[in-house]
Amino acid sequence: MLHIKPTMLKAAAAVLAATLGFGTAQAADISGAGATFPYPIYAKWADAYKKDTGIGLNYQSIGSGGGIKQIKAKTVTFGASDAPLKAAELEEAGLVQFPMVMGGIVPVVNLPGIKPGELALDGDTLAKMFLGEIKAWNDPAIKKLNPGVNLPSTAIAVVHRSDGSGTTFNFADYLSKVSKKWAADVGTSTAVQWPVGIGAKGNEGVANMTSQTGGALGYVEYAYAKQNKLTYTKMANKAGKVVAPTSEAFAAAAANADWKGTPGYAVILNDQPGDKTWPITSATFILMYKQPADKAASTAALKFFDWAYKHGDKMAQELDYIPMPESVVKMVEGTWAEQIKNK
C-alpha cells in the first residue's frame, strides 16, 4: 500500500518520481495532470502498470483546476478533475469526459484524545463551522451531536484548499445542499471565497496542515485520512442516520447514480438518499480530446485506463475507493470507440 505521510511528502514525491517516472517522462510515458483526490490510486495503478508493460505515468497531482487548464492548453494527454465539466464546455473544448473511480470526502480534525470516528457532525453544523459561525469545539451545537464526548474549548482552525480543487467543488456542493446560507454566501466552485481558515495546496497539503494544527478542521479524500492516520468524523446523512466513512457507505451513495442519462457522465453523488449512504461522495473524471494531436499518446493513455478498469479494482478497494460498475465501464468503452479518433 502506498503511504503518503505528512512529514514525508517531499520524500515520498521523490521516491514516486523515481519509481513511476513522475516529472521525468520518457518517450513512451503517459502524461496527465489534475486532481489530487485520486492520486493515491493513480500512483498505485501506475506502479503496477509499469511493472506489467514498462510504460510509466507522468501524472502531476496539481488539483482539478490545474488539470482542466493543462488539458485545455494541450500540454498533457489527459486531464483529471473531480469537478465534472458540463456538456456545453466539453463540446466547446472538443473534450470527452469519463469517470475513473469513486471515493468519499471526509471531515478531519486534530483534537487530542478524540479517536477516528468518535466525533459526529451533521451538514448544518459543518457548514456553520466552515462559515466561521461556530468558533469553538465545545459549542452547544457540536455538544448536542456528541453527548458523552469530552469536547475542549479549543478554537476551531479551519483548513481548506488554496488551489482550484474538485474536492473543494464536491465539498462546497454538499454544503450548498444542506445550508441555504452557504449556498447564498459562498456557493459551489472549484475555488470559493472561504469566509475563514488557512489555505493549503492539494489533499496532501490539507492533510499535512490538519495534522500540524491544534484544533484543526479540514476535509480530504478518505485515502489521505486513512494513510496519514488522521482523525475523521462520522456524518449524519440525508436520512438522518449517523454513518462512518466506509467503502460500503460510499458505494451506497453511488447506487442511485444515473450515469447513462447524464451528459458527459457528470454525476454528482452528494447528499444521496439511503440509511447507509455517506453524504459526501464523489467520482473523479478523465478529460481527453476527441481529436488528439498526438494519436499514439492518446492510444497509450486509453490502454492504461482500460487496464485499470480491468485489473485495478482490488487495488482501488484496498485504498477505500469504489471501482466503477461494469455497466459503466462498458458505456465508457463505447464512448472511446465512438468519440475519440486515434486513427
pLDDT in tens, 277-296: 999 999 999 999 999 999 99
Q: 295: domain CATH number?
A: 3.40.190.10
Fill in the DSSP letter of residue 195: S
Distance CA 29, CA 12 (A): 20
- In 3D space, the residue among 47, 162, 167, 43 whose CA is nearest the CA of residue 105 turns out to be 167
pLDDT of residue 28: 61
Residues 6+ positions from 329 with CB-CB distance below 8 Å: 309
**How many Å apart are CA 304 and CA 312, to the nearest integer?**
10
DSSP letter at 6 equals G
Q: Tell me whether residue 88 is exposed, middle or buried, using C-beta atoms within 10 angstroms of its C-beta: 0 to 12, 13 to 18, 19 or more.
A: exposed
**Residue 303 is assigned to a structural domain of this protein:** yes
Same domain (yes/no): 55, 167:
no
Residues of the chain with pLDDT under 50: 1-27
**What residue has cell string 454513518?**
243
pTM attached to this predicted model: 0.88
Contact 266, 85 (CB under 8 A): yes
pLDDT at 29: 86
Say if residue 114 is in the same domain as residue 186: yes
In a domain, 263, yes or no: no
Could you tell me the three cell numbers for 147? Answer: 453527548
Domain count, the chain: 2
3-state secondary structure at position 158: strand
Domain ranges, residue 294: 6-103+280-339
Sign of CA dihedral 268, 103, 202, 35: negative
In this structure, the answer to whether residues 188 and 237 fall within a common structural domain is: yes
pLDDT value, residue 23: 40
CA atoms of 290 and 94, how far apart (whole Å)? 6
